[in-house]
Amino acid sequence: MAWVPSAPARIGVLAAPQWAVVPLLALKTQWLALLAAAALGGGVAWGARRGSGGRKATGWEISEGIRQKEFFAHYQPIVTAASGECVGVEVLARWRHPVQGNVRSELFIQTAIEAGMIVPLTRYMLRRVAEELKQIVLPPGFMVGVNISTDHLALPELLEDCRPLVNLLREKQAQLVLEVSERAPLQEASGAQKVINGLRQMGVRLALDDFGAGYADKAYLSRWGFDYLKVEKGYVSALGQDSLKGNILDGLLLSSSEMGVQVIVKGVETQGQQSYLNVKGFEYLQGFYFGKPMTLNHFRQWLYSGIAESRVRPAGKRGSDG
């Protein structure tokens, strides 16, 4: 027999204080809306639930977003400093929420991490990108960067998560680069080294993203064998204003050359920054000056027009599209 809490056998009227009237009415209105939506169909009720609350996503919404295939990819170009030739992209997750519209990544990535949904979300993005890139011809040696969490990098299942995209890129003579943020350091006890070794056997490369925002030193870089360092964009915005960060950039170029690591500088927004970094000897750049994150169709148009332009225009004078 089910337990039922005891209560006095009385029937009466509960008088609520004035300050409680508005919340009670709001609660009643929300329940009525949900009941009405349920009467019209489960899908409408589901939409009503997803539309409630503030702009910041919840773990439940992210799970539903994955199930409903609401997440999609934007591609931001990575180019050579000398000529602006596109040699790769960074894949960035975007979310087309059915009620809130396009949701910025900063409003759901951290929530996905905290809710334990970042691995399922990354798996979904890897599959989606593999399907999308079937539609495009890529230049030989092209790199496709995908952000990965340190938790995911420690899971043996990551090898199978990456395999469809790796196989596709191999057919296109391109390569997958997994980007792990310096803000979340890798732990030796996590098992990530074994997974990284397996990824390397598959031809996957590793990049340390947000370099300069954390505490990575030479020992850390050597231990994990990064192929690329992606410099945090604050260093570029400080050029000409912060001599210390400028000196750090110069030192980084020397150190990376000694370690055999290639550097990608993010956050380039002006021709002056491109010229400065090119003169200093940096090889790869990324930023709004070359192209904002864009859909695959937009990126394809941008890429092909750039390839055509490079045959007839002087180096360093790419079109301004993007």
Residue 9 placed within a domain: no
Angle made by CA atoms 111, 116, 117, in degrees to the nearest 5: 70
Domains: count for the chain: 1
In this predicted structure, what is the pLDDT of residue 129? Answer: 98
Residue 80 placed within a domain: yes
Three-class DSSP category at 320 = coil
Residue 54 placed within a domain: no
* Helix, strand, coil percentages, rounded to 5, for the chain: 50, 15, 35
- More reliable by pLDDT, 258 or 12: 258
- CA-to-CA distance for 146 and 173, rounded, in angstroms? 17
In this predicted structure, what is the pLDDT of residue 214? Answer: 78
Helices (H), ranges, the chain: 21-40, 42-51, 59-67, 109-114, 118-132, 150-153, 158-171, 192-201, 218-224, 234-237, 243-259, 271-280, 296-310
How crowded is residue 73: how many other Cβ atoms within 10 Å of its Cβ?
A: 22
| Paired tokens of 132 | 């999308």
Give the domain extent around 238.
59-307
pTM: 0.79
In this predicted structure, what is the pLDDT of residue 309? Answer: 58
Residue 15 placed within a domain: no
Mean pLDDT value across residues 140-165: 97
Q: What are the tens digits of pLDDT across the range 72-123?
A: 999 999 999 999 999 999 999 999 999 989 888 888 999 999 999 999 999 9
Contact yes or no for 236/206 (Cβ under 8 A): no
- CA-to-CA distance for 236 and 231, rounded, in angstroms? 9
Total residues found in the chain within this entry: 322
Q: Measure Cα distances from 79 to 89, 135, 250 in Å.
A: 9, 21, 20
The CATH number of residue 64's host domain is 3.20.20.450
Distance in Å from the first CA to the final CA of the chain: 67
Phi and psi, residue 318, nearest 5°: -65, 160
In this predicted structure, what is the pLDDT of residue 53? Answer: 42
In this predicted structure, what is the pLDDT of residue 55? Answer: 52
Residue 284 placed within a domain: yes
Residue 4 placed within a domain: no
Q: Can you say whether residue 2 is alpha, beta or left, with left for phi > 0 and alpha for psi between -120 and 50 degrees?
A: beta
Q: What are the tens digits of pLDDT across the range 243-279?
A: 677 777 777 877 888 888 999 999 999 999 999 999 9
Residue 318 placed within a domain: no
Q: Measure Cα distances from 159 to 81, 153, 164, 203, 319 in Å.
A: 32, 9, 10, 11, 38
Q: What are the tens digits of pLDDT across the range 163-186?
A: 999 999 999 999 999 999 999 999
Residue 181 placed within a domain: yes
- CA-to-CA distance for 248 and 231, rounded, in angstroms? 11
3 has a pLDDT exceeding 60: no
Q: 15: pLDDT confidence band, cut at 50, 70 and 90?
A: very low
